[in-house]
Amino acid sequence: MAAAEVIVLAYGSLMSGFGLHALAPLRARTARRVAFGNARRGFGKFSQQGDRFTIVLDPVHLDTPLDARILAADTPPSGHVEGLALEIPPVALARLADREGYSSGALQRLREEAARSRVPLPDWLWALFEQAKFDLGAFRERLYRTIGYTSPHYVPQPVRLADGRCALTFLAPGPEGTGCDRIVAVRVQTGQTGLLTLAEAWRRKPSRTQLAYAVACLLGGAHGIAIQDLLASLADDARLADSVRAAVVTEQRQELARFLGATGLPAATYFDAFGPASVALTRSGLDALLRGCIGSPDR
Protein backbone atom coordinates (compact mmCIF):
# COMPACT_ATOMS: atom_id res chain seq x y z
CA MET A 1 0.00 0.00 0.00
CA ALA A 2 1.43 3.38 -0.98
CA ALA A 3 2.36 5.81 1.77
CA ALA A 4 -0.44 8.31 2.36
CA GLU A 5 -0.83 11.55 4.21
CA VAL A 6 -1.97 11.36 7.82
CA ILE A 7 -4.22 13.87 9.58
CA VAL A 8 -2.40 14.97 12.74
CA LEU A 9 -4.17 16.96 15.45
CA ALA A 10 -2.10 19.53 17.33
CA TYR A 11 -3.28 21.26 20.51
CA GLY A 12 -0.18 23.03 21.91
CA SER A 13 2.82 24.78 20.42
CA LEU A 14 2.30 23.06 17.05
CA MET A 15 -0.83 25.18 16.51
CA SER A 16 1.41 28.04 15.34
CA GLY A 17 4.04 28.71 12.73
CA PHE A 18 6.33 29.75 15.60
CA GLY A 19 6.03 26.21 16.97
CA LEU A 20 5.98 24.42 13.61
CA HIS A 21 8.97 26.09 11.97
CA ALA A 22 11.48 23.59 13.45
CA LEU A 23 9.64 20.78 11.60
CA ALA A 24 9.64 22.53 8.22
CA PRO A 25 9.06 21.63 5.49
CA LEU A 26 5.85 19.81 6.41
CA ARG A 27 4.37 19.87 2.89
CA ALA A 28 0.89 19.85 4.37
CA ARG A 29 -1.93 19.05 1.97
CA THR A 30 -4.52 20.75 4.18
CA ALA A 31 -4.73 22.65 7.47
CA ARG A 32 -7.92 23.33 9.41
CA ARG A 33 -9.15 24.24 12.85
CA VAL A 34 -10.45 21.30 14.84
CA ALA A 35 -12.67 21.03 17.94
CA PHE A 36 -12.13 18.17 20.39
CA GLY A 37 -14.86 16.40 22.31
CA ASN A 38 -14.33 14.80 25.74
CA ALA A 39 -11.11 16.78 26.19
CA ARG A 40 -9.48 19.19 28.60
CA ARG A 41 -6.18 20.99 28.10
CA GLY A 42 -3.53 22.46 30.34
CA PHE A 43 0.17 22.57 31.15
CA GLY A 44 1.06 19.22 32.64
CA LYS A 45 4.31 17.59 31.51
CA PHE A 46 7.86 18.68 32.19
CA SER A 47 9.58 18.99 28.83
CA GLN A 48 12.58 16.98 27.66
CA GLN A 49 13.57 20.00 25.57
CA GLY A 50 13.84 22.81 28.12
CA ASP A 51 13.03 24.15 31.57
CA ARG A 52 9.28 24.32 31.05
CA PHE A 53 5.94 22.61 31.30
CA THR A 54 4.30 21.61 28.03
CA ILE A 55 0.64 21.31 27.08
CA VAL A 56 -1.19 18.05 27.58
CA LEU A 57 -4.63 16.95 26.42
CA ASP A 58 -6.54 14.58 28.69
CA PRO A 59 -9.90 12.86 28.22
CA VAL A 60 -12.55 14.22 30.57
CA HIS A 61 -14.01 10.70 30.84
CA LEU A 62 -11.32 8.02 30.75
CA ASP A 63 -13.71 5.33 29.53
CA THR A 64 -14.76 7.39 26.50
CA PRO A 65 -12.47 8.10 23.52
CA LEU A 66 -11.53 11.56 22.39
CA ASP A 67 -13.35 12.71 19.29
CA ALA A 68 -12.86 15.68 17.00
CA ARG A 69 -14.61 17.74 14.35
CA ILE A 70 -12.93 19.64 11.52
CA LEU A 71 -14.20 23.23 11.46
CA ALA A 72 -14.99 25.44 8.50
CA ALA A 73 -13.55 28.96 8.43
CA ASP A 74 -16.86 30.52 9.45
CA THR A 75 -17.68 28.09 12.29
CA PRO A 76 -18.09 30.05 15.55
CA PRO A 77 -16.29 28.81 18.69
CA SER A 78 -18.35 26.32 20.68
CA GLY A 79 -16.49 26.29 23.99
CA HIS A 80 -14.71 23.02 23.20
CA VAL A 81 -10.93 22.69 23.26
CA GLU A 82 -9.66 23.57 19.78
CA GLY A 83 -6.52 22.76 17.87
CA LEU A 84 -5.03 22.42 14.41
CA ALA A 85 -5.57 19.55 11.97
CA LEU A 86 -2.70 19.09 9.52
CA GLU A 87 -2.67 16.56 6.70
CA ILE A 88 1.02 15.68 6.28
CA PRO A 89 3.14 13.00 4.56
CA PRO A 90 4.87 10.18 6.49
CA VAL A 91 8.30 11.83 6.42
CA ALA A 92 6.91 14.89 8.21
CA LEU A 93 5.03 12.67 10.66
CA ALA A 94 8.30 10.93 11.51
CA ARG A 95 9.96 14.25 12.36
CA LEU A 96 6.95 15.23 14.45
CA ALA A 97 7.09 11.94 16.39
CA ASP A 98 10.77 12.45 17.21
CA ARG A 99 9.97 15.95 18.44
CA GLU A 100 7.28 14.55 20.73
CA GLY A 101 9.73 12.07 22.24
CA TYR A 102 8.31 9.05 20.41
CA SER A 103 10.84 7.23 18.23
CA SER A 104 10.27 7.66 14.51
CA GLY A 105 11.71 4.17 14.09
CA ALA A 106 8.98 2.80 16.36
CA LEU A 107 6.40 4.78 14.41
CA GLN A 108 7.69 3.23 11.20
CA ARG A 109 7.20 -0.24 12.70
CA LEU A 110 3.60 0.71 13.50
CA ARG A 111 3.17 1.88 9.91
CA GLU A 112 4.49 -1.47 8.69
CA GLU A 113 1.97 -3.29 10.89
CA ALA A 114 -0.81 -1.13 9.43
CA ALA A 115 0.44 -1.74 5.89
CA ARG A 116 0.23 -5.51 6.46
CA SER A 117 -3.46 -5.00 7.26
CA ARG A 118 -3.76 -2.71 4.20
CA VAL A 119 -5.25 0.18 6.19
CA PRO A 120 -3.92 3.66 7.03
CA LEU A 121 -2.01 3.96 10.31
CA PRO A 122 -4.69 5.96 12.20
CA ASP A 123 -7.38 3.41 11.21
CA TRP A 124 -5.18 0.51 12.30
CA LEU A 125 -4.55 2.20 15.66
CA TRP A 126 -8.28 2.88 16.04
CA ALA A 127 -9.04 -0.82 15.51
CA LEU A 128 -6.48 -1.65 18.22
CA PHE A 129 -8.10 0.93 20.51
CA GLU A 130 -11.51 -0.65 19.87
CA GLN A 131 -10.12 -4.07 20.73
CA ALA A 132 -8.89 -2.57 24.02
CA LYS A 133 -12.48 -1.37 24.67
CA PHE A 134 -11.22 2.25 24.57
CA ASP A 135 -9.11 1.74 27.70
CA LEU A 136 -6.00 3.94 27.30
CA GLY A 137 -3.79 1.77 29.49
CA ALA A 138 -4.83 -1.45 27.76
CA PHE A 139 -4.40 0.17 24.33
CA ARG A 140 -0.82 1.23 25.14
CA GLU A 141 -0.05 -2.24 26.46
CA ARG A 142 -1.13 -3.66 23.09
CA LEU A 143 1.05 -1.13 21.29
CA TYR A 144 4.02 -2.08 23.46
CA ARG A 145 3.49 -5.80 22.90
CA THR A 146 3.30 -5.20 19.15
CA ILE A 147 6.60 -3.36 18.70
CA GLY A 148 8.37 -3.57 22.09
CA TYR A 149 8.52 0.19 22.51
CA THR A 150 6.77 3.03 24.30
CA SER A 151 7.67 6.52 25.51
CA PRO A 152 7.41 8.33 28.85
CA HIS A 153 6.77 11.60 26.98
CA TYR A 154 4.04 11.32 24.34
CA VAL A 155 2.38 8.28 22.74
CA PRO A 156 0.41 8.19 19.46
CA GLN A 157 -3.36 8.14 19.92
CA PRO A 158 -6.05 7.61 17.25
CA VAL A 159 -9.00 10.00 17.16
CA ARG A 160 -12.22 9.41 15.24
CA LEU A 161 -13.36 12.47 13.30
CA ALA A 162 -17.01 13.43 12.92
CA ASP A 163 -16.83 12.72 9.17
CA GLY A 164 -15.81 9.10 9.81
CA ARG A 165 -12.10 9.41 9.10
CA CYS A 166 -9.42 8.66 11.69
CA ALA A 167 -6.70 11.10 12.72
CA LEU A 168 -3.64 10.86 14.93
CA THR A 169 -2.54 12.90 17.91
CA PHE A 170 0.04 12.42 20.66
CA LEU A 171 -1.00 12.20 24.32
CA ALA A 172 1.22 12.47 27.38
CA PRO A 173 0.71 9.36 29.55
CA GLY A 174 -0.39 9.85 33.15
CA PRO A 175 -1.43 7.39 35.86
CA GLU A 176 -3.00 5.12 33.22
CA GLY A 177 0.55 4.23 32.15
CA THR A 178 2.76 4.11 29.09
CA GLY A 179 2.00 0.48 28.25
CA CYS A 180 5.08 -0.89 30.01
CA ASP A 181 5.55 -0.95 33.80
CA ARG A 182 9.31 -0.39 33.42
CA ILE A 183 8.80 2.87 31.48
CA VAL A 184 7.25 5.39 33.85
CA ALA A 185 5.50 8.43 32.40
CA VAL A 186 7.27 11.74 33.01
CA ARG A 187 4.05 13.10 34.51
CA VAL A 188 4.17 10.30 37.10
CA GLN A 189 7.93 10.65 37.69
CA THR A 190 7.51 14.35 38.52
CA GLY A 191 4.23 13.94 40.40
CA GLN A 192 2.51 16.38 38.03
CA THR A 193 -0.40 14.30 36.82
CA GLY A 194 -2.99 17.10 36.93
CA LEU A 195 -3.35 20.13 34.68
CA LEU A 196 -1.85 23.55 35.40
CA THR A 197 -3.09 26.89 34.11
CA LEU A 198 -0.64 29.14 32.32
CA ALA A 199 -0.25 31.26 35.47
CA GLU A 200 0.38 28.18 37.62
CA ALA A 201 2.96 26.83 35.17
CA TRP A 202 4.68 30.22 35.17
CA ARG A 203 4.83 30.35 38.98
CA ARG A 204 6.58 26.98 38.97
CA LYS A 205 8.82 27.70 35.98
CA PRO A 206 9.29 31.47 35.50
CA SER A 207 11.84 30.89 32.72
CA ARG A 208 12.43 32.30 29.26
CA THR A 209 11.76 28.90 27.74
CA GLN A 210 8.40 28.66 29.54
CA LEU A 211 7.39 32.08 28.21
CA ALA A 212 8.52 31.23 24.68
CA TYR A 213 6.59 27.95 24.76
CA ALA A 214 3.45 29.68 26.02
CA VAL A 215 3.74 32.23 23.20
CA ALA A 216 4.06 29.43 20.64
CA CYS A 217 0.80 27.95 21.94
CA LEU A 218 -1.05 31.27 22.10
CA LEU A 219 -0.04 32.22 18.57
CA GLY A 220 -2.41 29.51 17.42
CA GLY A 221 -4.95 32.23 18.12
CA ALA A 222 -3.59 34.19 15.16
CA HIS A 223 -5.21 31.49 13.01
CA GLY A 224 -8.54 31.69 14.82
CA ILE A 225 -8.00 28.62 17.00
CA ALA A 226 -9.93 29.22 20.24
CA ILE A 227 -7.44 29.63 23.10
CA GLN A 228 -9.68 31.19 25.73
CA ASP A 229 -8.97 28.23 28.02
CA LEU A 230 -5.24 29.02 27.90
CA LEU A 231 -5.74 32.75 28.37
CA ALA A 232 -8.18 32.55 31.30
CA SER A 233 -5.66 32.56 34.15
CA LEU A 234 -4.01 35.77 32.86
CA ALA A 235 -7.06 37.73 34.02
CA ASP A 236 -5.77 37.51 37.59
CA ASP A 237 -2.08 38.12 36.87
CA ALA A 238 -1.57 41.53 35.25
CA ARG A 239 2.22 41.31 35.35
CA LEU A 240 2.32 37.98 33.55
CA ALA A 241 -0.34 39.17 31.09
CA ASP A 242 1.85 42.16 30.20
CA SER A 243 4.90 39.93 29.64
CA VAL A 244 2.92 37.50 27.50
CA ARG A 245 1.31 40.33 25.54
CA ALA A 246 4.66 41.93 24.72
CA ALA A 247 6.14 38.62 23.59
CA VAL A 248 3.10 37.75 21.46
CA VAL A 249 3.12 41.18 19.79
CA THR A 250 6.78 40.71 18.84
CA GLU A 251 6.29 37.26 17.34
CA GLN A 252 2.88 37.91 15.76
CA ARG A 253 4.45 40.09 13.09
CA GLN A 254 6.12 37.02 11.58
CA GLU A 255 3.47 34.42 12.44
CA LEU A 256 1.64 34.18 9.11
CA ALA A 257 4.88 33.98 7.11
CA ARG A 258 6.23 31.31 9.48
CA PHE A 259 3.01 29.30 9.27
CA LEU A 260 2.93 29.39 5.47
CA GLY A 261 6.63 28.60 5.30
CA ALA A 262 6.39 25.67 7.71
CA THR A 263 3.25 24.11 6.21
CA GLY A 264 3.93 24.93 2.57
CA LEU A 265 0.31 26.01 2.08
CA PRO A 266 -0.49 28.58 -0.63
CA ALA A 267 -1.86 31.83 0.81
CA ALA A 268 -5.21 31.35 -0.96
CA THR A 269 -5.63 27.88 0.55
CA TYR A 270 -4.75 29.27 3.98
CA PHE A 271 -7.35 32.07 3.87
CA ASP A 272 -10.03 29.67 2.61
CA ALA A 273 -9.41 27.54 5.70
CA PHE A 274 -8.91 30.23 8.34
CA GLY A 275 -10.54 33.40 7.06
CA PRO A 276 -9.35 37.02 7.45
CA ALA A 277 -6.76 37.75 10.12
CA SER A 278 -8.91 40.28 11.99
CA VAL A 279 -11.82 37.84 12.27
CA ALA A 280 -9.47 35.04 13.33
CA LEU A 281 -8.00 37.12 16.17
CA THR A 282 -11.44 37.96 17.54
CA ARG A 283 -12.68 34.38 17.22
CA SER A 284 -9.72 32.92 19.10
CA GLY A 285 -9.72 35.38 22.00
CA LEU A 286 -6.17 36.53 21.22
CA ASP A 287 -7.44 39.98 20.21
CA ALA A 288 -8.58 40.59 23.80
CA LEU A 289 -5.04 39.97 25.04
CA LEU A 290 -3.48 42.18 22.37
CA ARG A 291 -5.89 45.05 23.15
CA GLY A 292 -5.01 44.86 26.85
CA CYS A 293 -8.44 43.60 27.91
CA ILE A 294 -6.95 40.63 29.78
CA GLY A 295 -4.93 41.14 32.93
CA SER A 296 -5.22 44.91 32.98
CA PRO A 297 -6.35 46.31 36.37
CA ASP A 298 -8.10 49.14 34.52
CA ARG A 299 -10.41 46.82 32.52
- pLDDT for 293 equals 92
* 92 and 18 fall within a common domain: yes
* 89 and 221 fall within a common domain: no
Give the pLDDT confidence of 38-56 residue by residue, as tens digits. 999 999 999 988 899 999 9
Last residue of a domain, one of 189, 206, 226: 189
pTM, 2 dp: 0.97
* 222 and 280 fall within a common domain: yes
Last residue of a domain, one of 155, 189, 223: 189
In a domain, 261, yes or no: yes
* 212 and 163 fall within a common domain: no
**Three-class secondary structure of residue 201 per DSSP:** helix
Give the pLDDT confidence of 211-237 residue by residue, as tens digits. 999 999 999 999 999 999 999 999 999
Last residue of a domain, one of 154, 189, 224: 189
Q: How far apart are CA 15 and CA 230, in angstroms?
A: 13
Res. 1 pLDDT band, cuts 50 70 90: very low
- pLDDT for 294 equals 87
Give the pLDDT confidence of 245-291 residue by residue, as tens digits. 999 999 999 999 999 999 999 999 999 999 999 999 999 999 999 99
* 19 and 165 fall within a common domain: yes
- pLDDT for 57 equals 98
- Do the beta carbons of residue 231 and residue 290 sit within 8 Å? no
Res. 295 pLDDT band, cuts 50 70 90: confident
In a domain, 296, yes or no: no
- Do the beta carbons of residue 67 and residue 36 sit within 8 Å? yes
Res. 296 pLDDT band, cuts 50 70 90: low
Q: How far apart are CA 181 and CA 279, in angstroms?
A: 48
Work out the percent of the chain whose per-residue pLDDT is above 90.
95
Q: How far apart are CA 89 and CA 68, in angstroms?
A: 20
Which CATH number goes with the domain that contains 113?
3.10.490
The number of domains in the chain is 2
* 119 and 142 fall within a common domain: yes
Res. 299 pLDDT band, cuts 50 70 90: very low
Full domain range(s) for residue 185: 6-189
In a domain, 295, yes or no: no
Interior angle at CA 214, CA 161 and CA 5, nearest 5: 30
Q: How far apart are CA 24 and CA 150, in angstroms?
A: 25
* 25 and 172 fall within a common domain: yes
The contacts of residue 166 (CB under 8 Å, 6+ apart) are 7, 120, 122, 123, 125, 126, 158, 159, 160
In a domain, 297, yes or no: no
Q: What is the mean pLDDT of residues 190-209?
A: 97
Torsional sign, CA 56, 61, 63, 65: negative
* 113 and 167 fall within a common domain: yes
Q: What is the mean pLDDT of residues 104-119?
A: 97
